[in-house]
Amino acid sequence: MTVYTAPLREMRFVLHDVLGAADTLTALPGFADSTADLMDAILAECAKLCEGVLFPLNQTADQEGCTFKDGKVTTPKGLKEAYAQYAEGGWCGLTADPEFGGQGLPETIDYLVSEMIGSANLSFGLYPGLTQGTILALTHLGTPEQKSYYLPKLAGGLWQGTMCLTEAHAGTDLGLLRTKAVPNGDGTYSITGSKIFISGGEHDMTENHAHLVLARLPDAPEGSRGISMFLVPKFLPNADGSLGKRNAVAPGSIEHKMGMKASVTCVMNFDGATGWLVGQPHKGLAGMFVMMNKERLFVGSQGFSTAETAYQSAAAYAKDRLQSRAADKPAYPDKPADPIIVHPDIRNRLMFSRAIIEAGRTLAVWTHLQVDISHKHPSPAARQHADDMVGLMTPIVKASGTDYGSEIANTCLQVFGGHGYIREHGMEQLVRDVRITQIYEGTNTIQALDLVGRKLGIDEGRLFKGWVYEVDKTLARLNGRNDMAEFTGPLKEGVERLKSVTLWMTEAGKADPNARPAAAVDYLKLFGLTAFAWAWVLMIEAALLKTNDDADFAAAKVLVGRYFMQRVLPQTISLDAVIRSGSQSMMALKEGAF
């Protein structure tokens, strides 16, 4: 069996010791109550829910899966009751506006809540995760009437939100979508078309659904500039606000998937369904990105979530599983063999997993802190800088979190050997579940192309320069610190390498149109590892201040950080060489030869 205990100590370390989040948040308008004590209390309550309710359902819900019969979806046993408990606790509206029944809490704390929920039950977390994105989109773009009617029900967990983008022929290239929206003359629209891969599109855990649907108006321009967004409820509202008749939207089928089997994925058919315009006509794609950018950061958390559970399970198994003897001498001579954790390969797998998870968590929490600053800071310049950092880091958090989440799930399965491959221990489920995170909300290749093709080029590299400025501040603060030199030295070299590669990509793209697309995935990985190195420097700096009151914790941080600098960060050297090799070797073979 897999094991999971919420890593509250690690989370508090990142929040308070590394980032000083409470000081930053309480200084922002609207967050005066977001003290360290309050955040700790929220995390502790979430840990109880995750460990006691959600995690015990993870494997059984996967084995049962969702069922589809007579147009209705039934979720696995226990999920409906767990969702009711989740909603009753106010978790659905954690960051929603209090005016509409939300808790009004920072995105920073929501990230750690999402991480715990994903670690405990990845499938379950997708249902409220999409609802939170719907809340965000309606909060920014909805009419007063839409907000007052829908937001309290979404924030209270009574209704589920979804995002309906993909069509069978139009995935990444949404400009190709065909779903139509015809005005009815009364402020409503008739929506007709089919959408696929709709997470949470239909189920029995909530009384209604609020679908955000991308469609084309009759006068829409071609391509992505002609997309509008519509709000299409499963049940139409009556004049008094109660639920009325069923709308003309229904699931045609559910997908039979590799993983995430307790999270239903539907084909949704809109047959002249009644909908309401959200935002401006033909501006739907930009509006949907309000939701999608939050969801991309959320999906990044899913990768780190799975990695955390995989790591904890592999570490527990490695301490218990007896196999062979340590290389130097028996570690436990009174036993017939030593536990496998004494072997270097097992240690390497566990150390790699831990080094990535801890750096990734720090970078993700820092990014969400920038989200809060970008929304609330009184200074326009501070808001702009924070928004730049969120824009730059979103593809990195999403892609790095999920790529490494999948890699760590696989490497931790390997710790179990053959036992990891069978269903009993639950490790194969983690590998199956996390794999989709590299695909949905924009594949990781799309994230890489967004980084190199758009984010790096904004205002002559303003975003990239802004992040380098943050790192330079750290290095300047630690200049002359001999106790930090083994960490700041590699970081400085890594940043210089990243700057050099970034400049090379800019120049190479002028001569070869394929150069940047060919290098994009490797470049994002190089950037991610360099950002992780920065996170480790911040962690080590904070850990060295804890030597008097928590020496063992601090010592472990230094050892894991040293491992990262010596055995993980050097991957950037080979990535540098790969990137500079250009596109010629991968593009030279003619299509017919494949």
Residues 6+ apart with CB under 8 A from 123: 58, 61, 62, 260, 261, 262, 263, 433
426: phi then psi, degrees, rounded to nearest 5: 85, -5
One DSSP character per residue, 385-403 reads HHHHHHHHHHHHHHHHHHH
Q: Which residues, at least 6 apart from 109, have a Cβ–Cβ distance to it below 8 Å?
A: 34, 39, 42, 43, 94
Catalytic residues: 441
| Beta strand extents in 169-284 (DSSP E only) | 180-183, 189-199, 208-215, 228-233, 235-237, 243-246, 249-254, 265-278
> How far, in Å, CA of 62 to CA of 262, rounded?
5
Specify whether the CB–CB gap between 260 and 197 falls below 8 A. Answer: no
- Closest by CA position to 429, among listed 572, 283, 257, 575: 257
Distance CA 326, CA 64 (A): 41
CA atoms of 71 and 51, how far apart (whole Å): 33
Instruction: Report d(CA 284, CA 233) in Å as an integer.
Output: 17
> Rounded to the nearest 5 degrees, what angle is found at the Cα of 402, between the Cα atoms of 440 and 449?
65
Q: Tell me the two tokens of residue 531.
A: 């950002």
Q: Contact 156/93 with Cβ under 8 angstroms?
A: yes
Q: Are strands 189-199 and 72-74 parallel, antiparallel or unpaired?
A: unpaired
The contacts of residue 354 (CB under 8 Å, 6+ apart) are 311, 560
Helix H segments across 178-254?
Answer: none
Question: In the Cβ-directed half-sphere of 73, how many Cα atoms lie within 13 Å?
Answer: 31
